[in-house]
Amino acid sequence: MTRNLQGRRILITGASSGIGKALAQQLAPLGAKLTLAARSEDKLTALASSLPGSPLVVPTDITQEDQRRRLLERSSEHFGGLDALVNNAGIASWAHFADSTEEILRRIMEVNFFAPAELLRSAIPFLVNGNQPAVVNVASMCGRRAMPAWSEYSASKYALCGLTEALRGELARFDIDILLIVPGLTSSEFSQHFLRSEGRAQIEYDKGMKPESVAAAIVNALRKNKTETWIGGDTQWMLRVNRWLPRLVDYLLARRVRKLYEAK
């Protein structure tokens, strides 16, 4: 199946920056009718004003049930329905689990899993009447191979991957496609908003993928209806090696952590 994005009514969460912003910038010129959601109204308004097609701006904290409901209702009323939901919003903490807190774990699970799960659940009645309806869940390489110092983030993305796989069968009876996006290290504002940033490894975020490259892969996945899309050389390498040699990956990661903490 090939999905024509012209005129498609698409809701994007986390649209004010990074991958979400880049995705809006690529979908709007294709003629998609966009609803942009994030907490920052100023950033959303500035983005919408720069795009063709007059996107709808709905400032939203997706962790709040009433705001999720309002988002879906406003989007559907404005465009006459909904064809695709892109669950892109997310947060992270880069620190070791033993040094972290229950509050951080619960906050990450709330934003990265519970909120998109409940938004998806609430969106089903709208998507049922959509044109080639789809849900796009943006996960992470950490959702397929958990990484040290990304424990809470990995857990939340694993949960999102698991939900996506389960719903692929469930939503088939509604003819709603559900697509999973698995990007690797991306150079964006995401790292500037970590709840904690105390990991000892040096991560060169500036050498990560550009959000525009990730967005282009998402657009391609939506067009071609690709079930799961791994994005980035680091993702391809890590997940392929982990598939066949998981114990080796465990050993190498553990050795790396031990070295980082030696004589510290």
Q: What is the pLDDT of residues 18-73, one digit of tens each?
A: 999 999 999 999 999 999 999 999 999 999 999 999 999 999 999 999 999 999 99
Q: What is the largest CA-CA distance in the chain?
A: 62
Which CATH number fits the domain that encloses residue 182?
A: 3.40.50.720
Structural domain contains residue 81: yes
Domain that includes residue 178, residue range? 9-233
Structural domain contains residue 202: yes
- pLDDT over threshold 70, residue 264: no
Structural domain contains residue 246: no
- Alpha carbons within 13 angstroms on the beta-carbon side of residue 41 total 3
**Residue 54 burial (CB count, 10 A):** 12
Give residue 204's pLDDT band: very low, low, confident or very high (50, 70, 90). confident
Alpha carbon of residue 159 to chain centroid: 12
**Residue 50 burial (CB count, 10 A):** 11
Q: What is the pLDDT of residues 146-199, one digit of tens each?
A: 999 999 999 999 999 999 999 999 999 999 999 999 999 998 878 777 988 888
- pLDDT over threshold 70, residue 263: no
To the nearest 10 degrees (0 to 180), the angle between helices 115-127 and 65-79 is: 30
Structural domain contains residue 248: no
Structural domain contains residue 43: yes
Structural domain contains residue 134: yes
Q: Give the residue among 119, 98, 97, 94 at the shortest CA–CA distance from 190.
A: 94
Q: What pLDDT is attached to residue 261?
A: 85
Structural domain contains residue 253: no
Structural domain contains residue 13: yes
- 205 is known as an active-site residue: no
Domain count, the chain: 1
Q: Tokens 């990730």 label which residue?
A: 214
Average pLDDT, rounded, for the chain: 95
